[in-house]
Amino acid sequence: MEIAGNGSTSLLEGSYTYSEGEEIEIIANPANGWQFDGWIGEVTDPASMETTVVINSDKTVSASFSQIMHSLSIEVSGKGDTSLEAGSYSYAEGTMMNITATPEAGWRFDGWSGEVSNPTSATTTILIDADKTVSASFSEVMPYAKIIGIIAGAVGAGLATLFVTRRKKS
């Protein structure tokens, strides 16, 4: 019995002696974050986690396991960067990813969409337990000169509001 990857079987790795015609049931058990890929060797069902070996000659049987991988897609809306560039990445299941959003000058970070630990914090964590897409959103900060220009344009167009206050006499 041999094992490739991270998992175990109902029989420990090693060599065993059995009588001719004996049928040996073996079960594969993948470790957390791993998946069973199949049996290599003469077994009754190479794709099943539970299978049987019929002893009619010397045999070598291996259980094959592989790590479970998931995709993480990073997107950016507005002008800013993330510590992982926008794009798609592949990570092993159970990985914890820290990610930070940084706005460009004149922009502010508004939040994350997608499964993150803290959607309002510029620095957050993503648990890779499935395929995921997260997006950092940035919006433009209106500069003071632009605000004054908007007000001046409104006044020029006759759209200004006049606020009058009255003082009490003392």
> In percent, how much of the chain has pLDDT > 90?
78
Query: Lowest-confidence range among 68-72, 133-137, 139-143?
Result: 139-143
Rounded to two decimals, the pTM is 0.69
Question: What pLDDT digit, counting tens, does each position of 83-122 carry?
Answer: 999 999 999 999 999 999 999 999 999 999 999 999 999 9
Question: What pLDDT digit, counting tens, does each position of 6-25 carry?
Answer: 999 998 888 889 999 999 99
Claim to verify: residue 114 and residue 136 sit in the same structural domain? yes
Q: How many domains does the chain have?
A: 2
* DSSP H or E stretch at residue 146: helix 144-156
pLDDT at res. 103:
98
Whether residue 163 is contained in a domain is answered as no
CA 32, CA 93: separation in Å to the nearest integer? 9
Average pLDDT, whole number, for the chain? 89
Whether residue 168 is contained in a domain is answered as no
Whether residue 32 is contained in a domain is answered as yes
Query: Lowest-confidence range among 26-35, 71-80, 138-147?
Result: 138-147
Residue 69: pLDDT above 70?
Answer: yes
Q: Are 112 and 134 in contact (CB under 8 A)?
A: yes
For 151, phi then psi, to 5°, come to -65, -45
| Structure tokens belonging to residue 111 | 């939040």
Claim to verify: residue 85 and residue 138 sit in the same structural domain? yes
Domain hosting 103: range is 69-144
Claim to verify: residue 138 and residue 118 sit in the same structural domain? yes
Cα 24 from chain centroid?
Answer: 40
Q: pLDDT class for 1, splitting at 50, 70, 90?
A: confident
Q: pLDDT class for 74, splitting at 50, 70, 90?
A: very high
